[in-house]
Amino acid sequence: MSASTTGAPTRADVTAARERALAGGDASRWPGKMAVRDRLRVLFDPGTFVEDGLLASVAADGLPADGVVTGVGRVDGRRVAVIAHDFTVKAGSWGERTCEKQIRILERADRDLLPVVYLVDSAGGRLTDQMGFFPGRRGASAIFHLQVRLSGRVPQICCLHGPSAAGGAYMPAFCDWVGMVEHNASMYLASPRVAEKVTGERTTLEEMGGAQMHASVSGCGDEVFGSDWETVSAARLLLSYLPDDYRSSPARAEPVPPERVLGEVVPPDPNQAYDVRDVIEGVVDAGTFFEIKARWAREIVVGLARLEGRVVGLVANQPDVRSGAIFVDSADKAARFVSMCDAYGIPLVFLQDVPGFMVGVDVERQGIIRHGAKLIAAMSSAEVPKFTVVLRKAYAAGYYAMCAPGFEPRATLALPTATIGPMAAEASVNAVYANKIAAIGDDGERAAYVAARTAEQEADVNLLRMGSDLVVDAVVAPGELRAELVARMNDADGWTRTTGRRHHLISPV
């Protein structure tokens, strides 16, 4: 039974209430899931967590801490706020006091500029307390309002351990990164049962809102992990790449040599596939590449790494997947990542090997122009130091979207394998001289004519010509690329943001 709230509680009453609140519900009913306070022990440095609102709903039976743990602890010595849902208490659902606790800690994060980690495991709004969590000024809508207010000002990282249902699904959506526990985590606006009632569609929770689906199809999840502790550990690691807030810089680390020597990784044949992550491993400090949304829109690779100890953001076309062309999803993926790096003062390196934006009826109907414009707008408006490296082909509007010289990168570098142009030389010849080529009846004469015109086109976009015309600032051998980038980033150390510019949020994909 709960302690009486009508008379003065004894010390024993208070101690018993605290013990009940700390115990939560029976976690053994959910095998394979860590109890919420065990998750917090993985997240925070030992002995640093200070909890708020432990005695929430102390007068109610079955509602220890009202199903959510909030407070501030330290991660590698840095103060970090937390919202952690207790799935053992009414399935982590939100009532009036659950919302109030979450709002209060977010208000503190807003006031003190604290990063926020969300350990989400909630069935959504508690319908038995619908007037408490739903309509008012201190209801769930205020939580989302504060998340948007914090966006781009402090890091917000979500570990999704279980469901994130109905309106509560927007809590992960407003975070900078979402790690999901396979087979346990899910995000959905309506359960399969509700969806069937409304639309007649029959599906499973895993198919509609499971971790693999969101990480590879919808893009709402960033990575999938096998357990609770792995997800929380990844969140701790990600925090090490991010600053405390938008006014500060990410911490530097001791430099580490790259994992491989960047030799002949990039093949000269523009149609030969290779994995651009091999290039990244030959440039950045060994073991530091933290890839983001690796399973979604795989034709572009984005992530954080360290270069001579400094945190950088990498945006790279992936020739190993769909030739590295930019599609609707890959444009969104890159745009959001660029926006995040700009918000947190992280320099950007663009690795170009792009045949252009994808063309055709399907992508036009999906709005490739609109999505491409989002990427170009995000890249163009980013004020952090930007550096462009043309690895091989840089064609059409894809060249623009990957930070062409007109968008003011600090430097445009090129490997000897680089080619820059509106399109491949042979494709250009077939476009310009289509009628003339069709009129040549002899196969040998036609081939010779095409070869001659192709040579002319190639000469026009020759790499030395690009250097002569100041399109590229330097042609760098692969083995020298890391040192060149390090030197140029050192020269940009005095960068400051334009005064008076409003700091922007990180728009959801």
pLDDT tens-place values along the chain, 509 residues long = 444 556 788 999 898 889 989 998 888 888 989 999 999 999 999 999 999 999 888 878 889 999 999 999 999 999 999 999 999 999 999 999 999 999 999 999 999 999 999 999 999 888 888 877 888 899 999 999 999 999 999 999 999 999 998 888 999 999 999 999 999 999 998 888 888 889 888 988 889 999 999 999 999 999 999 999 999 999 999 999 999 999 999 999 999 999 998 888 899 998 999 999 999 999 999 999 999 999 999 999 999 999 999 999 999 999 999 999 999 999 999 999 999 999 999 999 999 999 999 999 999 999 999 999 999 999 999 999 999 999 999 999 999 999 999 999 999 999 999 999 887 767 776 777 778 888 888 888 888 888 878 777 777 777 888 888 889 999 999 999 999 999 999 999 989 888 766 667 777 76
Q: What is the residue type of 285? A: D
Q: Measuring CA to CA, which residue among 475, 476, 418, 479 is closest to residue 282?
A: 479
| Angstrom distance (rounded) from CA 86 to CA 178 | 18
Question: Which residues have CB under 8 Å from 335's CB, separation 6+?
Answer: 371, 374, 375, 377, 378, 379
Contacts of 439 (CB under 8 A, 6+ apart): none
Q: Give the start-end residues of each E strand in 21-138.
A: 50-52, 68-75, 78-85, 116-122
- Residues 6+ positions from 68 with CB-CB distance below 8 Å: 83, 84, 85, 86, 92, 94, 98, 101, 102
Question: What's the pLDDT at 113?
Answer: 97
407: left (phi over 0), alpha (psi -120 to 50) or beta: alpha
Domain 33-241, CATH class in plain words: alpha beta
CB atoms near residue 296 (< 10 Å): 22
Burial of residue 152 (CB within 10 Å: 0-12, 13-18, 19+) is buried
CA dist 303 and 94 (Å) reads: 34
CATH 3.40.800.20 applies to domain 276-418+472-492: no
Are 394 and 417 a contacting pair, CB within 8 Å?
Answer: no
Task: In whole angstroms, give the CA distance from residue 384 to residue 343.
Answer: 9
CB 53 within 8 A of CB 104: yes
Tokens 């359960």 locate to: 191
CB atoms within 10 A of CB 226: 10
Matching CATH topology for 33-241 and 276-418+472-492?
yes
Q: What does each C-alpha distance from 62 to 1, 14, 59, 247, 318 come to in angstroms?
A: 9, 17, 10, 43, 52
- What pLDDT is recorded for position 501? 66
Torsion angle, alpha carbons of 90, 17, 116, 371, to 10: 10
Q: Side chain identity at 337, as an amino acid letter?
A: F
pTM for this predicted structure: 0.93
Return phi, psi of residue 299, to 5°.
Answer: -75, -5
Q: Where are the domains of the chain?
A: 33-241, 276-418+472-492
48 φ, ψ (degrees, to nearest 5): -105, -10
The β-bridge partners of 94 are 125
